[in-house]
Chain A
Amino acid sequence: MHNRALAICTQGITMKLLTLKGRTLGLALGAALLTGSVTVPVYAALGGDATSVDADVQKMKGQARAQAVSGYTVNEITLPSGTTVREYVSSEGKVFAVTWKGPVVPDMQQMLGTYFEEAKAAAAAPHGGHNHLNVDHPDLVLRSGGHMRAWAGKAYVPSLLPPNFNLGDIQ
């Protein structure tokens, strides 16, 4: 797993890092937006320790701006395919939620990290059709859906959500 993650981080050199500055995310109500130059943990996996990839970021000379919102940070990355990935990092440095949207479903193993096998097992359980998948486990909530060349999804770990976090802010 560790080797795989490193390999993907290397691929991430081609990733375009987008700033969230100025974007309207509809984030936490009344929160002071703290925009600054920070080291963005590129494509950290759900539940992972965001600081663990700082070394990879430095190796890639990656730097980007992210948006910190009252207790958490949202990093946005646009993949070469055009798919946008967002990761929500708590003040403790944990990725508590990830989202994706675009023409290509991103590498779900990289997105979901240690939760990948659990999501995979849920996807293998009988459900109708292939254009949606809803998973509601105590430790993992996942929504994946769309149609060909227009996919969107989100996943979060309930136990890692910041206090008083509004689930509607995962977009």
Chain B
Amino acid sequence: MRSIYSLILAALVSLTVLAGCGGSGNGDLSTSGSGSQTIAPAANNVVTMTVNGGPLASTAPNFNIPYVSVTVCAHGSTSNCQTIDNIQVDTGSYGLRLISSVVSSSLLSGLTQVNASTGSPLVECTQFADGYSWGSVRTADVQISGETAANVPIQLIGDSGFTNIPGACSSGLTQEDTVETFGANGILGVGPFVQDCSTACVDSTTYPYYWSCPTGGGTCSQVQVTLAQEVSNPVYYFTTDNNGVIVELPSIADAGAASATGSLVFGIGTESNNALSSGTKVLTTDDSGYITITFNGTAYTESYIDSGSNLLYFVDNSLTQCTLGSGSNAESFFCPSSEQSLSATNQGQNGATSTVNFQVANAQTQLNTSNTAFDNVAAPNSNSMSFDFGVPFFYGRNIYVAIASMAAGGTTGPYFAY
């Protein structure tokens, strides 16, 4: 039953995409007054993006995680290349990070190690909300669709040369250096900024990000770096279409979908397929990537839109919560007895506002299926000042993410638009 249901839903999703019209009318999340959605078909600046169970679909399937394929080459080489699938698309981070175990030995040896000012290899501790990823900084040519970022710093997570992880890194909950622990073959950070640490890691070592690690082992020490050494959003390094991305996922049914296929488009206002339409709301962010979202009468000033959040996360003391899973897995979601229709007003730092409707269904009912795409699953947030429109917000809507200081369709980033 599971597979037939999945196939039917997959077919429906495919048809929706082929028709090029998700249509906001049947979506759970719709912008007031917005028109129908067009998902860009294949092009030089378009890569197919899929929400599915991910690389661990048979054992620990993910949901609401969009993936793309990325081709990585040794700098300057057209032969020492590898196309890697199941790379998570994350607008909440900056830079390409690959799990080293999926990288071929020839490519591994072809990716130039970036050295710290000490002359020793530069290794990074990447912090996430649930853990950390540790691995060397290398340079690579990154190809996605027809776009190439030449000689861009990436992180090689979990490479075997650097196993002496500093305590300031390993104190960050769980180690996520394998496909099994990371849930993806890598992550593509295409958020609204360029470098992962920006000037903070140039000016001081107060962020525990960058480390100088002696070749062959030994104790790593924290180092300051240059901006050019930091792991960076590859889009910024493209020769064209380098001012941002558009994340395009189709509308899905209330019950969810077995998978969802859309497009990740490069550039904003640079090609015929990435223009800002007249009805698009441009919401600029501050230096932390924040906008203000007003919900239930409260203005949440540390809010954002994020493809790396697989749920909607917000504060609501009236929605029924439930704890799903048991033992270590036990975690809270919102589980109203019937689907709730809600609305919020998003406001950019530029004052532009947009009211959006969204729905929250019973997470237990939704997640008790084999579907991997849901536009109506939500959970309590970690930050009482924040509302996070995660992946459920993206279905049926093209989300523009413009990079800081880059002109994009008449407005300079950083901004979100839809």
A-chain residues with CB within 8 Å of residue B5 when the two chains form the complex: none
CA distance A104 to B62 in the complex (A): 26
A133 and B129 in contact, given A128-B183, A128-B310 (Cβ under 8 angstroms): yes
A-chain residues with CB within 8 Å of residue B167 when the two chains form the complex: 4
Q: How far is the CB of B209 from chain A (nearest CB, A)?
A: 8
CA distance A47 to B184 in the complex (A): 35
Find residues 120-138 in chain A having any chain B CB closer than 8 Å to their own CB.
120-137
A-chain residues with CB within 8 Å of residue B128 when the two chains form the complex: 105, 130-131
Interface size of B in residues (CB-CB distance below 8 Å) = 69
A149 and B323 contacting across the interface, CB-CB below 8 Å: no
A145 and B63 in contact, given A127-B130, A150-B288 (Cβ under 8 angstroms): no
Q: Does any Cβ of B come within 8 Å of A19's Cβ? A: no
B-chain residues with CB within 8 Å of residue A136 when the two chains form the complex: 323, 330-332
A134 and B308 in contact, given A146-B129, A148-B92 (Cβ under 8 angstroms): no
A79, A130, A149 — which one has the most chain B CB atoms within 10 A of its CB? Answer: A130
A126 and B183 in contact, given A104-B207, A108-B172 (Cβ under 8 angstroms): yes
Interface size range of chain A in the complex: 35 or more
Majority SS of interface residues in chain A? mixed
A127 and B173 in contact, given A144-B129, A146-B382 (Cβ under 8 angstroms): no
Q: Does any Cβ of B come within 8 Å of A109's Cβ? A: yes
Q: Does any Cβ of B come within 8 Å of A71's Cβ? A: no
* Least CB separation from B95: chain A residue: A148
A-chain residues with CB within 8 Å of residue B252 when the two chains form the complex: none
Report the stretch among A29-37, A60-68, A88-96, A151-159 that lies at the interface: A151-159
B331 and A148 contacting across the interface, CB-CB below 8 Å: no
B171 and A103 contacting across the interface, CB-CB below 8 Å: no
Q: How far is the CB of A12 from chain B (nearest CB, A)?
A: 13
CA distance A81 to B332 in the complex (A): 30
Residue interface mask B12-37, A partner, CB < 8 A = 1: 00000000000000000000000000
Question: Can you give 28 A-B contacts (C-beta < 8 A)?
Answer: A81-B200, A103-B207, A104-B206, A120-B174, A126-B62, A126-B329, A128-B64, A128-B310, A129-B309, A131-B306, A131-B390, A134-B380, A134-B382, A135-B331, A143-B382, A144-B129, A145-B381, A145-B386, A146-B129, A148-B94, A148-B196, A149-B200, A150-B288, A150-B289, A152-B382, A152-B383, A153-B383, A154-B382
Extra inter-chain contacts (6) besides given A128-B311, A152-B302, CB under 8 Å:
A120-B174, A128-B64, A131-B309, A136-B323, A149-B196, A150-B304
